[in-house]
Amino acid sequence: MQFRNHRIVGDIIELARRYGQEGADELVFYDITASPDGRTVDRSWVSRVASVLDIPFCVAGGIRSIADAEDVLNKGADKISINSPALENPGLITELAKRFGSQCVVLGVDSRDENGGYFVYQYTGDPDRTEAARRTTVEWVTEAQDRGAGEVVLNCMNQDGVRKGYDCTQLAAVRAVCQVPLIASGGAGAQQHFLDVFRIADVDGALAASVFHSAEIPIPDLKQFLDDNGIHVRTCT
Amino acid sequence: MSIAIIDSGGANIASLLYAFQRLSTPAELTTDTRVIQAADRVILPGVGAARDAMDRLRAADLIDTIRGLKQPVLGICLGMQLLTDASEEEDVECLGIIPGTATKLPSSVTCPVPNMGWCATRSERQHPIMAGIADGSYFYYLHSYALPVSENTIGTAEHAEMFSAVIGKDNFVAAQFHPERSSAAGAQLLSNFLGLA
């Protein structure tokens, strides 16, 4: 087990280094090892990532308190992202923003399109626990901003993992109420999908995982494609 | 070469320490006057509010120490604003080493404040701190206040309005962006700083 964990960490360090060199603008690490039952988690991997990475990175998962956030930020992360704990206790957003500044407090939202209405889901990390949070996505994003969230990552669950493109309609609806940076998540399968989401939903960033991990879409190619199509991006040198 | 990073508070110091490790010249985080005065290079970082940072520098009795430094000094982000006369943020008097006053960035729907993210940065005049960095290179910014363009401006960026991205006067240089989080261009700037005469 120990060996296996070390190997996985080694993998993410190498992957982080590779993405940094390839021209990714920011990395998000979803810490799925973070224990939901409140046991102490080993976050030494955050320091190791910070030591090799020279672009901003965000840690998502397992942050339930000021102390958790402080630990992650002191180890060199630039931002922390909270999702279910914020739904359980919206005051956590306010506290984190007051203590560390809005610029490092990211709200992660898992949202599902149900008959044209958008609703927030929580505990999406565990299929057995996933449940509707009984909030509309637009209401939740509005409240979180008022509480001091400095960025929103909107993961559109209907699209997630199917690689048919971002949910531009939903993202555009959230964009209309979101004055802080909005990052699209869920559905990227082709370069055109990135162009579409920037053009149609006017998002500030587009997040993807599998198409980058598999190198199916090389980041330098994607950035060149976006630049050629008039989207301002930091092109790789 | 010895590098002293002045501990002006705030949580984001780790990434700066790592950046110098990657350049194979480890830096020391300190508030010790003697360590700072004896260092070959001094960094004044800063996150958070200008008043808190100035209070901490005063409490550590570092105001005159910093003003009297003769070796190359690099201010980063809030550290850049601390080097100037004042900040409009809570009307704070700063170190007064480089003329100018930091003003709040204008906010709009297309340019929300804080300005967070990568901005193209233009070179306005030749300076060794920007050597080998292509004009228009992107750097990573995270700020709500900025310095207007002045005769000390070396580089500029835009967020609704143009502001000073890099300034320099005598042995003091400063960047509004975070070189430690600005990929190869940022590493080049830090390396240039270590190479300043």
- Say whether B119 is catalytic: no
Across the range A170-190, mean pLDDT stands at: 95
User: Which CA distances in Å does A145 have to A21, A44, A78, A177, B74?
Assistant: 33, 31, 19, 10, 34
- Say whether B143 is catalytic: no
Residues 6+ apart with CB under 8 A from A37: none
Query: Which CATH number is A129's domain given?
Result: 3.20.20.70
Domain residue extents for chain B = 3-195
Residue A24 lies in a domain: no
Range of the domain at A70: 65-228
Query: Could you tell me the pLDDT band of residue B11, with boundaries at 50, 70 and 90?
Result: low
- Say whether B178 is catalytic: yes
Q: What percent of chain B has pLDDT over 70?
A: 99
User: Which CA distances in Å does B184 have to A25, B34, B195?
Assistant: 12, 33, 16
Q: What is the model's pLDDT at position B71?
A: 98
Bridge partners for B7 per DSSP: none
Average pLDDT, chain B: 94
Protein fold of B3-195: Rossmann fold (3.40.50)
Residue A43 lies in a domain: no
**DSSP structure class, residue A235:** -
Q: What is the model's pLDDT at position A3?
A: 37
Characterize the bridge pairing of strands B161-169 and B172-175. antiparallel
Check whether A205 has a pLDDT greater than 70.
Answer: yes
Count of structural domains, chain A? 1
Per-residue pLDDT tens digits for A55-82: 999 999 889 999 999 999 999 999 999 9
Check whether B105 has a pLDDT greater than 70.
Answer: yes
The Cα A160–Cα A128 span in angstroms is: 18
DSSP string, B72-109: -EEEETHHHHHTEEEETGGGEE---SEEEEEEEPPP-S
**DSSP structure class, residue A34:** S
The Cα A138–Cα A171 span in angstroms is: 10
DSSP string, B96-163: -SEEEEEEEPPP-SSS-SSEEEEEEEEE-S--GGGTT--TTEEEEEEESEEBPP-TTEEEEEEESEEE
Q: Quickly count: other Cβ atoms within 10 Å of residue B68's Cβ.
A: 8
Q: What is the model's pLDDT at position B175?
A: 98
Q: What is the model's pLDDT at position A127?
A: 77
Per-residue pLDDT tens digits for B171-180: 999 999 999 9
Residues 6+ apart with CB under 8 A from B100: B84, B85, B147, B148, B150, B152, B164, B167
**CB < 8 Å & 24+ apart, contacts of B90-93:** B90/B49, B90/B50, B90/B51, B92/B50, B92/B51, B92/B54, B93/B54
Bridge partners for A188 per DSSP: none
Residue A130 lies in a domain: yes
Please indicate if any CB of chain B lies within 8 Å of the CB of A167. Answer: no
Please give the structure tokens belonging to residue B183: 């990929």
pLDDT greater at residue A139 or residue B49: A139
Q: Which of A43-47, A217-221, B98-102 has the lowest mean pLDDT?
A: A43-47
Please give the structure tokens belonging to residue B65: 């120490």
Nearest CA in chain A to B16: A76
Is the separation of the CB atoms in A137 and A109 below 8 Å? yes
**Rg for chain A (alpha carbons), in Å?**
17
ipTM: 0.89
Per-residue pLDDT tens digits for A1-58: 233 445 566 688 999 999 999 999 999 998 876 655 555 678 899 999 999 999 999 9
Per-residue pLDDT tens digits for A80-139: 999 999 999 999 999 999 888 888 999 999 999 998 899 999 988 777 888 888 899 999
Q: List all residues of chain A from 31 to 90 with a beta carbon under 8 Å from chain B.
A: 47, 50-52, 54-56, 70, 73-76, 78
**Rg for chain B (alpha carbons), in Å?**
15
Across the range B3-18, mean pLDDT stands at: 88
Chain B residues with CB within 8 Å of chain A CB: 11-12, 14-15, 18-19, 21-22, 47-48, 109, 112, 114, 116-118, 120, 134, 137-138, 140, 142, 180-187
Q: What is the pTM of this model?
A: 0.91
Please give the structure tokens belonging to residue A162: 């199917």
Q: What is the model's pLDDT at position A2?
A: 35
Bridge partners for B75 per DSSP: B44, B174
Q: List all residues of chain A from 88 to 147 with a beta carbon under 8 Å from chain B.
A: 100-103
Q: Catalytic pick from B94, B119, B124, B178?
A: B178
Residue A44 lies in a domain: no
Please give the structure tokens belonging to residue B14: 């780790």
